[in-house]
Amino acid sequence: MERQGTHATYHAPLALVVISSISIGIAAIAALFIAIDIILRRGWSTMMLVMIPVYVINALYLWPITLWTYLNYGRPPKPQKRHGMSSQPDEKSAREAGAGHCCHGGSQKEEPESAIPACHRQERPMFATITVAVCHCGAGCVLGDIIGEWIVYGAGITINGRTLWPAYLIDFVFAIAFGIVFQYYSIAPMSGDYGVKTLWRAAKADFFSLLFFEIGLFAWMAIFQMAIFNWQLEMNTVTYWWMMQIGMFLGHWTGVPINWWLIKTGVKEPCA
């Protein structure tokens, strides 16, 4: 992450580069599998649309848990041959299969009052509920951190000669912005309200969730930059992004307790 003006360029050991590449490669394959599976199953017709990028993005750092959650609680049903039949059986089977993880945007306009209760009909362990809740802010963090890191690196922004500190600020701002967007499009289809009130609800639901996620990630960023690589690891290396992948994995777990509390207190919708 740090540009070494007075030091020789640091090259990570080959073994570390290989491990980094394998870890990121497996995650990319998992994300690609989810994306292709959703396309083949025409998931956009039965899933809550925001869950499509959420599952794909979270597989990039949390692929074992994301894949398990998707296959068990979020995978859309296979498209059925209609042959003149109404779409009602498809909707029913989609709901029973847990498509889109809980509720469907298509039914929202027709039954706004019953749509939210319908989200809770599907039986699912609390672990899966909290996992999906954390994944909303996780998706925002991934996008925010990727954009923020490249802005800081490309522009050469530093504070006290280090890029870590401005990266914290810029990453967090972008992560908050993306996180609120993901949260908004989780709440709005369930409530049927696409106005400012829902935007405020999304901001409240996402801020603390994302804050605790970033605590885990940012703490790890400080550890690997200062203690492990002595400020020598460049941002444009595969090893750096493996470190970030680990940090996001840790961030997921620091985000679990607050999401449990947010759901229990009603600040965050279990389906959002």
Asked if the structure places residue 136 within a domain, the reply is yes
| Residue 18: C-alpha distances to residues 22, 25, 61, 151 (Å) | 6, 10, 17, 26
- Which of the four pLDDT bands, split at 50, 70 and 90, describes residue 11? confident
Per-residue pLDDT tens digits for 82-102: 444 444 444 444 444 444 444
Asked if the structure places residue 269 within a domain, the reply is no
Q: What is the pLDDT of residue 271?
A: 63
Angstrom distance (rounded) from CA 34 to CA 40: 10
Q: How many domains does the chain have?
A: 1
Q: In the chain, pLDDT over 70 holds for what percent of residues?
A: 81
The mean pLDDT value for 64-78 works out to 93
Asked if the structure places residue 62 within a domain, the reply is yes
Asked if the structure places residue 4 within a domain, the reply is no
Asked if the structure places residue 196 within a domain, the reply is yes
Asked if the structure places residue 9 within a domain, the reply is no
Per-residue pLDDT tens digits for 185-210: 888 887 788 888 889 988 988 899 99
Asked if the structure places residue 8 within a domain, the reply is no
Average pLDDT, the chain: 83
- Tell me if 137 sits within 8 A of 176, measured CB to CB: no
Q: What is the pLDDT of residue 151?
A: 97
39 contact partners, CB below 8 Å, separation of at least 6: none
Both tokens of 213, joined, read 């996620």
Overall pTM > 0.85: no
- Tell me if 245 sits within 8 A of 57, measured CB to CB: no
Asked if the structure places residue 232 within a domain, the reply is yes
Q: Is the pLDDT of residue 65 over 70?
A: yes
Residues of the domain holding 179: 14-79+87-264
- Which of the four pLDDT bands, split at 50, 70 and 90, describes residue 52? very high
> What residue has token string 């809550």?
48
Q: Which runs of E-coded beta strand occur in 51-152?
A: none
